[in-house]
Chain A
C-alpha cells in the first residue's frame, strides 16, 4: 500500500501555477527522485510535502492522514519528517554533536538514549572524530554528512532531500551519491529526493519522477525512464538523444522529414498523425558502406572528433536536423565523406508529443 500519496496537488503564486495537478504514490521504504530542469516545480512539490507551503488544490496524505489540503496544512514540526537542505542549514552556533542531537532533544528522549543514538549515527556517517567541531570548521563534504546524520537520527517517517549535492565539487558529489544510496539501503526510510542531475537520480532512486512545467511527464524505474521514454522531453532530458520528426505511416513506421522511413521497435503511434522517433547517440551504427537494408541511409559527415575511447560524429540530414552519434575509434571517416547511418529498429522509440 502506498505510504505517501499526492493527489491532484496544486500550488499557485499569484497568477502563476507552479505545481499543476501532481499525482504520485510512494510505497513505504522507497526512494523517489523528483527530476527536472530548474523551475519545473520539483522543489515546490517537496516543500509542499514538508508543509512549508500550503496547498491550493488537491491533497497530500501520509498513511491514512491528510497532512495538506486547501482546508489546512499540518505544520512541518508535527509531520515527523526530516529534510536535507541545499545549503545544509547546519546551525553555526551548535557543534556537530548538538546539531545532530537537536531533533532528539525536541522529542524529549532520555539523555542517555539521545547520546547513544547520536553516537551511533555519527559512527555510521564517519563523523565521530568531528563531534565537537562547529560547522564553520568543516569541509563541504563533512557538512553534508552532518546534515545527513541530523536528518536520519530522528528516524523520520519520510526523509526529504532538496538538491543535497549541488554545492559539492564533482568528485565528492559522485562519492556522496553512493553514500546516500548506501544509507538508504541501511535505514529504508521513505525518501523523496529532488535533483536536476540525472546521474544522481539514476544512482540513488528506486523510482524516478520526471517533472516539467509543473507536471509529471513520466515516472518509472531508472531503466524505464532511460530505455522507454514516453515523451520527447523525457528522452531529451535523460541521457540526451536524437529526435527525428515526421509523419506516422503505420503503428510503428515513420516517414521522417529527412526523406527516409524508420521502423520503430517500441512505442506506438497514431496512424496518419505526427511521428517522433528517439534514438540514443550510441545506438546508431555508422559505417562507410551499407550493411543492412532496414533503417539505413547515406549522409555526409559534418564533424568528427577523436575522444580517445570513441569518436564523436555529427551528420547532417535533410530537413534541418543534425544527427549526433558515437562510433568506435576504428570507424574513421573524414569530414565531407559519405557515411551510412543505421538506426537499429530495436533502439528506435516511437513517441507521441
Chain B
C-alpha cells in the first residue's frame, strides 16, 4: 500500500509542474501579442479623431482626407501604380512559370534558382539600380545609346523618373511572387488530369486552355494580388523614383506628413484606408485560394508533362533571357559597376576602376559602423525573438496544451494585414510619448520588426510543427522520457531545420526593412537601409552601391551558412526527407 501513496505524490507533482509551465507562458504571450498588435492600431484610430492644431475630438482629418486633392491624388496614383504592377507581374511571370515548369527549356533549374534568389534583393536597391541604369541624363542606358548613335546630351532613350518607370522598377521585384506561386501550382497539377483530357480528344492547346490554365488560375490571381499589395504598401522604391519625378504615392505622402511641421492626426487618418485596402486584398486572396479544393493540390500523381519545343525554343530562350536581364543581370551589374568606378557615367576600363567608394564607406564615412552594428544587432535580436515566440506559440496552438491557444495563433498572424508604413505611424504614436519615450532608441525599431516579421515566422513554425507527428513525441514519453526530455531529444532536433530557416528568413527580412523604419529612425538609430536612402538624397550612388552589395552579401551568406552547416540542420536532414 505504501506504493500507492508514493504514486499519488508523484502524480500530484507532475500535474503541478505542467500547470505551472503552460499557463503563465500562455498569459504572457497573449498579453505581449495583444500589445504588439492592438496598441498601434488603437493609437492610429485615436489620433485620426484628434485635431493637429487644437485639442478635442474632431472629424477634420477625415474631411481633409476626402477633400485634399494632394492626398486623393496620392491614393489614386498608388492604386493605379499597384494595379499596373500587378498586371505587368502577372503577364511576365505566368508564361515564364509555364516555360520553367512545363517545357523542355534548357537551364530550367537555374532560372528558377535565379528568380528565387532575386527575392533577396531589397526593392529599394532595385530602384537605385534603375536610377543608375535609366536616369534621363546619367543613366547608363541613355549614355550607351547616345554613344552608339552619336547623339547629343539632350536625347533620352528611357527615363525612370516617370509613372511608367516606377511601375517597371517595382514590377521587376514583385514578379517573383507570381512566378513562384504559378510554377509551384503547375508542378502540382497531376499529369493524369491532362492525360484524361487528351484521351477524351483534347489536343495540346485545348488541354492547356481548358484544363491546365484553369487549374493554376487561382495561383495566378493570388500571386497578382500579392504583387499589388506589395507595391501598394511599398515605401522605398516610390520614394526613390516618384519624388524626383514630382509626384507622391500614399506611402510617401504619409511620410511627408511626418516632416516638419508634423501632422500626426492627418497621417493617422490617411493610414486607415491603406489598412482597409490591405485587409480587403488579403481576404480576397484567401477566398481565391480557399474557394475550390483544386488550388491546394494534394500529392503528385505522376510527373508533370513537359511540352517539347521545336524551332520555337529560341523565342522562349530570348524571352526568358530578356526578363532575367531586366530584373537581375542589369541591375546587379549596374550596382557592381557603380561600386567600383569613380562616377556612374565612367566607361568601364582598368583606369576607372577604384576602391574609393569602399574606402569611403568602410573607413571614412562615420555613420557606416554604427548603422552596420545597429542593423546586425536588430537583425539578430528580431530573428531570435520572433523565432522563439513563433516556436512557443505554434507549440501551444498545434499541440493544444492550453485552451484558447487558437487565439494566440490569430494574434500572431494579424500583423500581416498591417502595412509597414501604417505600423510605423502606429508605433510612433504608441511609443514616442512621455510614457514610453522609446523614440530614438533601438527598442522601437525592435518592436516594429518583431511585429512585421511575426506572421512569417509563425506560419513557418506552425506548419513544421504540424509536420511532426504527435506519436513521435508519445513514443519518447512511453519509453521513459519526460515532457522536457522529449522536447530536447526528439521535437527540437526534428524542428531544427525549420527553426534555422525561419531565423534566416526573419533576419533577411529585417535588415532590408525600410517602410516602418523610415518613420521610427533617428540620427542615433540609423540603419543601413536608412543610410542608403539618405545617401540617395545626396546623390552618392557609389557609396550606396557598396552598402547595397554589403547588405546582399550578408543576406546571401546567412542563407548559405544555414543551408550548408550540418550542425544547423542543412544538408544532413535534406538528404533523407
- Give the residues from 477 to 514 in chain B that come closer than 8 angstroms, CB to CB, to chain A: 477-483, 485, 489-490, 493-494
Q: Can you list 6 A-B contacts with CB-CB less than 8 angstroms, sorted by A residue number?
A: A64-B3, A72-B7, A77-B477, A83-B474, A91-B494, A93-B573
The one of B4, B11, B474 in contact with A76, judged by C-beta atoms closer than 8 angstroms, is: B474
- A142 on interface, CB distance cutoff 8 Å: no
Distance of A67 Cα from B8 Cα, bound (Å): 8
Q: Which residues of A contact B472 (CB under 8 A)?
A: 89, 91
A102 contacts B478, C-beta separation under 8 Å: no
Question: Which size class do B's interface residues fall under?
Answer: 20 to 34
Q: Which residues of B contact A76 (CB under 8 A)?
A: 474, 477-478
- Give the residues from 231 to 274 in chain B that come closer than 8 angstroms, CB to CB, to chain A: none
- B15 on interface, CB distance cutoff 8 Å: yes
Q: Which residues of A contact B573 (CB under 8 A)?
A: 93
Q: Which residues of A contact B351 (CB under 8 A)?
A: none
Give the shortest distance, in Å, between A97 (CB) and chain B (any CB): 15
Given A71-B8, A73-B15, 18 additional A-B pairs, CB 8 A? A52-B477, A63-B3, A64-B3, A64-B4, A65-B4, A73-B14, A74-B7, A74-B11, A75-B477, A77-B479, A83-B474, A89-B475, A91-B494, A93-B493, A102-B481, A103-B480, A106-B479, A106-B481
Q: Which residues of A contact B14 (CB under 8 A)?
A: 73-75
Q: Which residues of A contact B4 (CB under 8 A)?
A: 64-66
Which residues of B line the A interface, CB within 8 A? 1, 3-4, 7-8, 10-12, 14-15, 469, 471-472, 474-483, 485, 489-490, 493-494, 573, 576-577
Give the shortest distance, in Å, between A104 (CB) and chain B (any CB): 9
- A107 on interface, CB distance cutoff 8 Å: yes
- A221 on interface, CB distance cutoff 8 Å: no
A80 contacts B480, C-beta separation under 8 Å: yes
- A207 on interface, CB distance cutoff 8 Å: no
CB nearest to B14 among chain A residues: A75
A134 contacts B576, C-beta separation under 8 Å: yes
The one of A63, A67, A74, A89 in contact with B474, judged by C-beta atoms closer than 8 angstroms, is: A89
Q: A-B pairs with CB below 8 Å: how many?
A: 97
Distance of A77 Cα from B14 Cα, bound (Å): 11
Binding site secondary structure of chain B: helix
Interface size in chain A (residues, C-beta < 8 A): 39
Give 6 closest A-B pairs by Cβ, nearest first: A72-B11, A103-B479, A89-B471, A89-B475, A76-B477, A85-B471
Q: Which residues of B contact A87 (CB under 8 A)?
A: 469, 471
Q: Which residues of A contact B8 (CB under 8 A)?
A: 66, 71-72
CB nearest to A78 among chain B residues: B10
- A79 on interface, CB distance cutoff 8 Å: yes
Q: Which residues of A contact B15 (CB under 8 A)?
A: 72-73
- Give the residues from 237 to 294 in chain A that come closer than 8 angstroms, CB to CB, to chain B: none
The one of B7, B475, B577 in contact with A66, judged by C-beta atoms closer than 8 angstroms, is: B7
Distance of A16 Cα from B480 Cα, bound (Å): 31
- A160 on interface, CB distance cutoff 8 Å: yes
Given A66-B4, A89-B469, A92-B494, does the pair A81, B478 have CB atoms closer than 8 Å?
yes
Q: Which residues of B contact A115 (CB under 8 A)?
A: none
B480 contacts A106, C-beta separation under 8 Å: yes
Q: Which residues of A contact B576 (CB under 8 A)?
A: 92, 134, 136-137
- A31 on interface, CB distance cutoff 8 Å: no
CB nearest to A134 among chain B residues: B576
